[in-house]
């Protein structure tokens, strides 16, 4: 017997080629294989005799091959035609383009055949049935005569092969229950071994669903435990600096702001200040919609550090955003004697003097900044800040408080589970004066009139526009052939808007070139900026009032919402135009939702229901785990797994499996 941690290559007849195929499916151990659950099932459970076959039904028969031969149709199609018989009669069988079958299914062989019953040449027949050789009548079948699982596959590695290996793994692996009886009873869950049997060898769909529920619980429980253990590990770190907060000075800071804080800004600032005067390092995630005022909330924390005689660092994903934070914080702290330094690639080699706030990209943690005096680190766009970078903050001399911010709307279940190691703060309201952007879904036939409207709008109100395209260069692949590239669209639009100045921006431009284009746009030298979604994060052009998004159906709602948030930042009425060729289906439903919904959180929940997290977050936001079995929409199961994780983590000595399964594999 093997155990769950055994390598996949320990299974019989799994050599280097098969092992490589398994790895492509993310399967390295027997546990990985057993958790590789079916995407669907074929109901081949109706086992009958030939005389009872009826056209249109899906059935399984056990019969002997009478004949099978290769023939060619008039069109040159190779077919395998023959007949099979049992004690009740004969029926025709037919396959296409599988000439090797005549060597396997020769006369006299006993087979189990499953498939749809129909007619061929006016004769009742089974067309392209799944087949399985049988030693004798009554032999247990794996690929026919039951609910047959269909698995996620890879090239040259079919469900049939996976089923065989799954059977070997299940029958040869020592599978022990590791959850206590009280948790299983409380959540109405079956045993672990039974769950695997029900999922991979179910008698019916209900049984498969019961098994899947237990495996989904396991998956969510592991995530929740990882988060709780990470949180405990973080809280064990030595705090670099405990802050003594001067409430009068902090009140003076908020009163001197050029605007009134929202209710949720005040609430979140209190949460942050409570953490800062505590004895353990803060690890808080600040979620806020585009334009909700996250930077001023972070500034309150930085001011608290300054008032206690310590420094702060703010790290942004790009130099463009770092520069924007620099400009914003200079305005916020205009009436206070704070020294603010912007550290870019060009200044890395310069000896850095004393500052109260350092601003730069994530490379700051490798710079000459002396972290000994840093009490607070602010990280913008959490999902782009990796595990290895976070380790650099944990020092023997002490760990600073950490505040991470994201404008990416995260569904609540995903946030609480994926970021369970962090305390969560959310800005739910918008600052006074922040207007809603009018959004229209624009069909292709209205493109000319839309361009006329854009032209008039820019000229009459002296405003500016973004036109966002999904790709940099024209794609030769058929699926993306209709998506406009930013380069060809830029050339075409120059002919359309002949009396306006157009600029081009995309991720492959050098940093200096990007900054030059953005500076020209900000200064009003460019009327229309044709760009890729590189503008999604952090570009603030108050004079821009029009956002045009090409092939809107190819973006997730979170991405569309963030792009829309690039306009409506000034005092003028702003608009978002979503061009699309799609007129129905889920993609169209998503686009129409943009016309009515202005909350990023509401849109993220809708996107989760329509598309799932894998497509919402994509590779750019790979910090979000992709669930293989569970669903982010199963709120009750997520809640139950969180409660179980809290119960287990409160007394880890009772659960030695946590060390092997979770703690030994965890990354801080």
Q: Can you give the CATH number for the domain in which 99 is found?
A: 2.40.50.140
Structure confidence by residue, pLDDT tens digits, 336-364: 888 998 887 655 443 455 789 999 887 77
**Same domain (yes/no): 397, 458:** no
Mind spelling out the 3-state secondary structure of 402-465? EEEEECCCCCHHHHHHHCCCCEEEEECCCCCCCCCCEEEEEEHHHHHHHHHHHHHHHHHHCCEE
Q: Is residue 62's pLDDT more than 90?
A: yes
**Same domain (yes/no): 382, 476:** no
Integer-rounded Cα Rg, in Å, for the chain is 31
Residues 6+ apart with CB under 8 A from 295: 325, 328, 329, 332, 405
Residues facing 668 on adjacent strands: none
Structure confidence by residue, pLDDT tens digits, 293-335: 899 999 999 999 999 999 999 988 877 788 888 988 998 998 8
pLDDT at position 351: 41
How far is CA 309 from each of CA 245, 270, 360, rounded to the nearest angstrom?
11, 20, 21
Residue 532's CB: how many other CB atoms inside 10 A? 20
Tell me the C-alpha distance between 497 and 451, whole Å. Answer: 8
Residue 158 in any domain: the answer is: no
Q: Is residue 516's pLDDT more than 80?
A: yes
Structure confidence by residue, pLDDT tens digits, 446-457: 999 999 999 999
Name the band, by pLDDT with cuts 50, 70 and 90, for residue 147: very high
pLDDT at position 664: 61
Q: Can you give the CATH number for the domain in which 512 is found?
A: 3.40.50.300
Read off the pTM. 0.78
Structural domains of the chain, count? 3
User: What is the token pair recorded at 274?
Assistant: 């409570």
pLDDT at position 476: 41
Helix residue spans in 550-611 (DSSP H): 557-564, 585-596, 600-611
Q: Is residue 538's pLDDT more than 70?
A: no
Tell me the C-alpha distance between 392 and 389, whole Å. Answer: 5
**Same domain (yes/no): 330, 473:** no
For 547, phi and psi rounded to 5 degrees?
-120, 115
- The number of residues making up the chain comes to 668
**Same domain (yes/no): 412, 517:** no
Q: Among the three residues 90, 114, 145, which one is the final residue of a domain in this structure? A: 145
Residue 656's CB: how many other CB atoms inside 10 A? 10
Residues 6+ apart with CB under 8 A from 562: 290, 407, 408, 536, 537, 600
Highest average pLDDT, of 111-115, 132-136, 469-473, 658-662, comes from: 111-115
Indicate the SS3 state at residue 89.
Answer: strand
Name the band, by pLDDT with cuts 50, 70 and 90, for residue 79: very high
**Same domain (yes/no): 451, 390:** no
**Same domain (yes/no): 401, 294:** yes
User: For the chain, how far is it from start to end, CA to CA, in angstroms?
Assistant: 34
Q: Is residue 22's pLDDT more than 60?
A: yes
Tell me the C-alpha distance between 21 and 14, whole Å. Answer: 10
Task: For helices 557-564 and 600-611, give the axis angle rounded to 10 degrees.
Answer: 150
pLDDT (average), residues 625-654: 87
Q: Is residue 667's pLDDT more than 60?
A: no
Tell me the C-alpha distance between 114 and 132, whole Å. Answer: 9
Which residues span the domain enclosing 130? Answer: 46-145
**Same domain (yes/no): 447, 540:** yes
Structure confidence by residue, pLDDT tens digits, 249-267: 888 888 888 888 889 999 9
Q: Among the three residues 427, 456, 478, which one is the final residue of a domain in this structure? A: 427
**Same domain (yes/no): 260, 297:** yes
Structure confidence by residue, pLDDT tens digits, 569-605: 777 899 999 999 888 888 888 889 899 888 777 887 8
**Same domain (yes/no): 301, 374:** yes
pLDDT at position 385: 59
pLDDT at position 36: 95
Residue 645 in any domain: the answer is: no
**Same domain (yes/no): 577, 451:** yes
Tell me the C-alpha distance between 344 and 365, whole Å. Answer: 12
Tell me the C-alpha distance between 583 and 591, whole Å. Answer: 10
Indicate the SS3 state at residue 241.
Answer: coil
Q: Among the three residues 402, 427, 452, which one is the final residue of a domain in this structure? A: 427
**Same domain (yes/no): 348, 399:** yes
Residues 6+ apart with CB under 8 A from 140: none
């Amino acid at each position: 017997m093997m155990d769950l941690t055994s390598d996949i290559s320990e299974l019989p007849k799994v050599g280097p080629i098969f092992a490589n195929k398994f790895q492509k499916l993310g399967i390295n151990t027997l546990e990985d294989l057993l958790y590789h659950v079916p995407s669907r099932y074929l109901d081949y459970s109706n086992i009958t005799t030939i005389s009872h076959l009826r056209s249109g039904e899906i059935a399984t028969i056990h019969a002997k091959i009478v004949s099978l031969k290769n023939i060619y149709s008039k069109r040159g199609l190779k077919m395998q035609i023959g007949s099979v018989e049992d004690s009740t009669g004969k029926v025709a069988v037919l396959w296409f383009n599988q000439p090797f079958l005549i060597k396997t299914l020769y006369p006299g062989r006993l087979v189990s055949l499953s498939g749809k019953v129909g007619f061929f040449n006016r004769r009742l027949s089974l067309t392209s049935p799944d087949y399985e050789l049988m030693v004798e009548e009554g032999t247990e079948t794996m690929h026919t005569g039951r609910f047959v699982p269909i698995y996620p596959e890879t090239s040259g590695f079919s469900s049939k092969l996976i089923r065989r290996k799954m059977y070997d793994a299940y029958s040869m692996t020592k599978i022990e229950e590791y959850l206590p009886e009280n948790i299983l009873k409380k959540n109405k869950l079956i045993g672990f071994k039974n769950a695997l049997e029900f999922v991979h060898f179910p008698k019916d769909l209900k049984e498969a669903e019961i098994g899947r529920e237990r495996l989904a619980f396991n998956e969510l429980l592991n995530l929740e435990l990882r988060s709780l253990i990470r949180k405990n590990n973080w809280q064990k770190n030595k705090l670099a600096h405990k802050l003594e907060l001067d409430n009068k000075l902090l009140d003076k800071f908020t009163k001197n702001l050029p605007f009134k804080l929202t209710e949720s800004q005040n609430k979140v600032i209190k949460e942050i200040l409570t953490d800062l005067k505590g004895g353990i390092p803060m690890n808080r995630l600040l979620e806020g919609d585009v334009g909700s005022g996250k930077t001023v909330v972070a500034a309150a924390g930085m001011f608290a550090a300054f008032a206690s005689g310590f420094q702060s660092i703010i790290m942004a994903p790009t130099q463009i955003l770092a520069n924007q934070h620099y400009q914003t914080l200079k305005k916020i702290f205009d009436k206070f004697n704070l020294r603010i330094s912007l550290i870019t690639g060009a200044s890395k080699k310069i000896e850095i003097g004393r500052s109260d706030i350092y601003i730069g990209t994530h490379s700051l943690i490798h710079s000459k900044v002396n972290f000994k005096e840093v009490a607070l680190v602010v990280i913008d766009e959490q999902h782009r800040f990796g595990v290895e970078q976070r380790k650099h903050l944990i020092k023997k001399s002490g760990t600073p408080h950490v505040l991470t911010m994201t404008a990416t709307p995260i569904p609540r279940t995903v946030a609480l589970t994926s970021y369970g190691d962090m305390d969560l703060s959310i800005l739910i309201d918008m600052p006074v004066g922040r207007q809603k952007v009018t959004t229209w879904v624009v069909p292709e036939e209205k493109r000319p009139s839309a361009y006329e409207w854009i032209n008039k709008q820019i000229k009459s109100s002296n405003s500016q526009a973004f036109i966002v395209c999904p790709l940099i260069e024209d794609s030769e692949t058929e699926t993306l052939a209709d998506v406009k590239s930013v380069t060809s669209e830029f050339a075409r639009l120059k002919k359309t808007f002949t009396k306006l100045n157009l600029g081009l921006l995309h991720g492959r431009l050098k940093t200096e070139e990007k900054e030059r284009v953005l500076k020209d746009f900000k200064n009003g030298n460019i009327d229309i900026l044709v760009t890729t979604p590189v503008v999604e994060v952090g570009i603030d052009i108050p004079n821009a009032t029009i956002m045009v998004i090409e092939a809107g159906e190819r973006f997730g709602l979170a991405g569309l919402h963030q792009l829309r948030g690039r306009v409506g930042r000034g005092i003028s009425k702003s608009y978002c135009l979503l061009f699309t060729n799609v007129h129905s289906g889920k993609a169209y439903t998503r686009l129409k939702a943009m016309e009515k919904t202005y909350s990023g959180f509401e849109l993220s929940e809708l996107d989760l229901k329509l598309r799932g997290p894998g497509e919402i977050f994509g590779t750019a936001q790979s910090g979000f785990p992709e669930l293989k079995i569970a669903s982010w929409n199963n709120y009750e199961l997520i809640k139950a797994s969180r409660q179980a994780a809290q119960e287990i983590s409160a007394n880890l000595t009772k659960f030695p499996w946590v060390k092997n399964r979770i703690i030994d594999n965890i990354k801080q």
